[in-house]
Amino acid sequence: MGTEFKESITRAVNNANLTGALGKFSEAYKVNRAKAYEGIDFEELRGRIAELKGYAAAHLDELSDQFQKNAEACGATVFRTKDPAKVREYILKIAQENGVKTVIKSKSMATEEIHLNRYLEEAGIEVGETDLGEWIIQLAGQTPSHMVMPAIHMTKEEVSDLFSKEVNERLTSDIPRLVKVARDKLRPTFLAADMGISGGNIAVAETGSIVLMTNEGNARLVTSLPKIHIALVGIEKLIEKFADVATILQALPRSATAQLLTSYVSVITGPTPNSDGSMKNMHIILMDNRRSEMAADPKFKQALQCIRCASCLNVCPIFRLVGGHVFGKVYTGGIGTILTAWFDELKKSEDIQGLCIQCGACTDVCPGKIDIPDLIMEIRRRLVKDQGLPLLQKTIYAVVNNRKLFHGMLRAASIAGKPFTSGKFVRHLPLFLADLTNGRSLPAIAEEPFRDRIKKISQPKFKEKAAFYAGCLIDFAYPEMGESLVKILNNGGIEVIFPEDQTCCGAPARYNGAYEVAASNAVDNINALLREDVTYVVSACPTCTVALDHEFISTFESLGQTEWLPQAKILAEKTVDLSTLVTKLVAAGRLTMKEGQKLGKITYHDSCHLKRTLKVSEQPRELLQKAGYELAEMFECDTCCGMGGSYSMKLPEISAPILQRKLKNIKDTGAPLVAMDCPGCVMQIRGGIDQDGAAIIVRHTVELLAEQLEK
């Protein structure tokens, strides 16, 4: 990552206005969004949206033809182009032909994508933004920091300074008064403008209509007052049927601002009369700018299902810390990373793609049903394919890819690390892991890894067998978690085998775009885990479980390797996470916990992969309560802890404040104990608590359950 980029992050996380405003907003947003969706089956609704937008993305040419025919039949002029430069030229030409001196605009991301304002201004045309947020940004000479709320990073004092200069009068920071000033100041501009430029939230092929939504009412004025109206619409806004407008409008305002509907919705089909009786001169520009290439890409076509609600930004733990400016000038957040990689260029996304911690919070709320983290991974993969891995990473993966060498080094680390170990934590790690200790303590590498310890456990013989996939952390840092797992499964009548040849699950390589390495890890693990006939392959690390259950398959698919796919699918079938398996055993009456225990208060942290990819969240809670704990939910229990594998090494400046927030939420419950199902989260949170000094114990669910078994 470039220094300039790193600096922009540091600036952002230290900007109290920004993080304060975004933080407060993101908290309120979650509550309000849920309220706005009351009585609506969100999954059903987004299923329909994904389907109709997916259909449109697959038929862009047909729908563009149909749209053009219908809009022109109503009297509009439709201009279609692939090239942003042609869009700019076309708009300037119309302006010059009609002697346009001033233009008013309502909010449009597409015009920002092609930097239209600057172009027109250089040609001597005055351009006025009319959306309040956009106007503030324009006055400040800045770029928007959020797709829906462009000026969310500014305070009312800053706004009052800007406005004071604009109206030559010392204004206070009273918000209603500032809004009134903007109204009064912009009114004459509206009335005098020769041309109105808008975007389009939706374009309907069947009727040639465009749909515009605003809360302020500026789009109504932009499309009504000037005699010329130009609507610039990206072709991803096309949908086929008029009736489907209602489907999108059911989700868009709810997801964007938690409103049932924006104050104003205009559905415009061709020109309408002006107040002097003439007809409006109306142009609609359908802009491609790589959208049809995107549609032809088997992986990225999904991104065209976006309806630009920005809810993915609102729930993103990274976005709420750094805001939009770190992401660049136009599209921001997770989806913005993807759009920048396409509409601008792949290279431009090099730094920003690294901001995503892969927590999946965005995918949960996306009304277009887009798997944003998966697409960001694909960007990573393609960047690595184009540019190769940095040397340091290459060295690391060369090691990880050689199981014997890798495990040998980890064993060596347990000895070499000793001088640096105090109690259960390492303050400094040897070897390439040196940076890991930044901002939090790390576990000492165990003296004896789990792979050695299991040999000493004498297990009863059972017919049913499970292969335990430990993952690097349990094997080498937390072997006691593995021992607890064996104890539990034995109690439930299952014998645990530990296939010696298992190696790293490949997640670190995959999350850094090194898919070839991940694929080779996958093959090694498939061989190891399927060698013996077992009923289950069980893991107590959700990241590993996701690798076994989903990612081996998708890694092979991304690389076009089919040879190992059938085996990978068999492995996926057998894979199960600890809490789900224990829940099954309890339900079948095979496993019982001590009766009537009163173990006191506990709080539970949801690990990203467990909750959102594997959809497991109730099981561990029920088991812990059954064991005798009293559950006290923490605020934002399913928000990422900031670990994200090597993320915490690469972006400690972001990971650290996310961890601090998590620690605060844990402490606020007053529980002396916090449980979670992921050794990675244990490492992050336990390390944070150690440095913080709070008297809170951090445990994996597996350990807590093992202590409460009957017998």
Partner 1 sequence: MYQQFKIRAEGVSAEVYHFVTKEAALDHVINFLQADGLADTSGALAVWAECSFLDGIDRDALRKIAGLKFEVTRELAAQARFGISQMEWALADTGSLAQNSTAIEQRLVSSLPSIHIALVPTNGILPDMPTLLSRVHPAECRYLAMITGPSRTADIERVLTIGVHGPDRLVIIFVDELGGGC
Bridge partners (DSSP) listed for residue 282: 229
Rounded Cα distance between 221 and 127, Å, is: 15
Q: Could you say which of partner 1, ligand SF4, none residue 221 binds, taking C-beta under 5 to 8 angstroms by partner kind?
A: partner 1
Q: Work out whether 488 is an interface residue with partner 1 (CB under 8 A).
A: no
Q: Are the C-beta atoms of 321 and 19 separated by less than 8 Å?
A: yes
Residues with Cβ within 8 Å of 300's Cβ and at least 6 positions away in sequence, in order, are: 294, 338, 342, 375, 378
Q: Work out whether 203 is an interface residue with partner 1 (CB under 8 A).
A: no
Q: In the stretch 213-232, what mask flags binding to partner 1 with x, by CB under 8 A?
A: --xxxx-xx-xxx-------
655-438-687-399 Cα dihedral, nearest 10 degrees: 90
DSSP string spanning 16-69? HHHHHHHHHHHHHHHHHHHHHTTTS-HHHHHHHHHHHHHHHHHTHHHHHHHHHH
Q: Are the C-beta atoms of 105 and 129 separated by less than 8 Å?
A: yes
User: Which regions of 88-168 does DSSP assign to beta strands (E)?
Assistant: 102-105, 126-129
Q: Work out whether 152 is an interface residue with partner 1 (CB under 8 A).
A: yes
Minimal distance in Å, beta carbon 308 to partner 1?
Answer: 17
Q: Work out whether 175 is an interface residue with partner 1 (CB under 8 A).
A: yes
Strand-strand pairing, 442-443 and 425-426? antiparallel
Query: Of these, 128, 150, 499, 513, which contacts partner 1 (CB under 8 A)?
Result: 150
Which is nearer to partner 1, 202 or 409 (by Cβ)? 202
Bridge partners (DSSP) listed for residue 539: 469, 577
By CB under 8 A, which span of 130-138, 303-311, 436-444, 553-561 interacts with partner 1?
A: 130-138
Minimal distance in Å, beta carbon 252 to ligand SF4?
Answer: 8
Q: Contact positions toward ligand SF4, by CB under 6 A?
A: 255, 306-312, 316, 318, 334-335, 356-362, 366-368, 370, 372-373
Rounded Cα distance between 465 and 529, Å, is: 12
Q: Work out whether 482 is an interface residue with partner 1 (CB under 8 A).
A: no
Query: Of these, 12, 78, 116, 204, which contacts partner 1 (CB under 8 A)?
Result: 204
Q: Could you say which of ligand SF4, partner 1, none residue 310 binds, taking C-beta under 5 to 8 angstroms by partner kind?
A: ligand SF4
Minimal distance in Å, beta carbon 147 to ligand SF4?
Answer: 7
Query: Of these, 112, 113, 129, 131, which contacts partner 1 (CB under 8 A)?
Result: 131
Q: Work out whether 260 is an interface residue with partner 1 (CB under 8 A).
A: yes
Enter the DSSP assignment of 302: G
Which is nearer to partner 1, 70 or 349 (by Cβ)? 70
Which is nearer to ligand SF4, 359 or 494 (by Cβ)? 359
Q: Is 366 helix (H, G, I), strand (E, B) or coil?
A: coil
Tokens of 684: 């992050």
Q: In the stretch 83-122, what mask flags binding to partner 1 with x, by CB under 8 A?
A: ----------------------------------------
Rounded Cα distance between 157 and 165, Å, is: 13
Q: Work out whether 36 is an interface residue with partner 1 (CB under 8 A).
A: no
Q: Kindly report the CA angle at 425 between 422 and 428, in degrees rounded to 5?
A: 85
Q: Kindly report the CA angle at 192 between 187 and 193, in degrees rounded to 5?
A: 100
Distances (CA, A) of 217 to 152, 191, 199: 19, 14, 14
Query: Of these, 3, 141, 246, 456, which contacts partner 1 (CB under 8 A)?
Result: 246
Q: Which residue is nearest to ligand SF4 (CB)?
A: 334
Q: Is 203 helix (H, G, I), strand (E, B) or coil?
A: strand
Q: Work out whether 167 is an interface residue with partner 1 (CB under 8 A).
A: no
Q: Could you say which of ligand SF4, partner 1, none residue 268 binds, taking C-beta under 5 to 8 angstroms by partner kind?
A: partner 1
3-state helix, strand, coil in the chain (%, to 5): 55, 15, 30
Minimal distance in Å, beta carbon 172 to partner 1?
Answer: 13
Q: Work out whether 139 is an interface residue with partner 1 (CB under 8 A).
A: no
Distances (CA, A) of 134 to 102, 144, 328: 17, 7, 16
By CB under 8 A, which span of 8-16, 177-185, 323-331, 455-463 interacts with partner 1?
A: 177-185
Residues that contact partner 1, how many (by CB under 8 A): 67
Contacts with partner 1, residue ranges (CB under 8 A): 21, 24-25, 28, 73-74, 130-133, 136, 149-152, 154-156, 159, 175-176, 178-180, 182-183, 186-187, 190-191, 204, 207-209, 215-218, 220-221, 223-225, 242-243, 245-246, 249-250, 257, 259-275
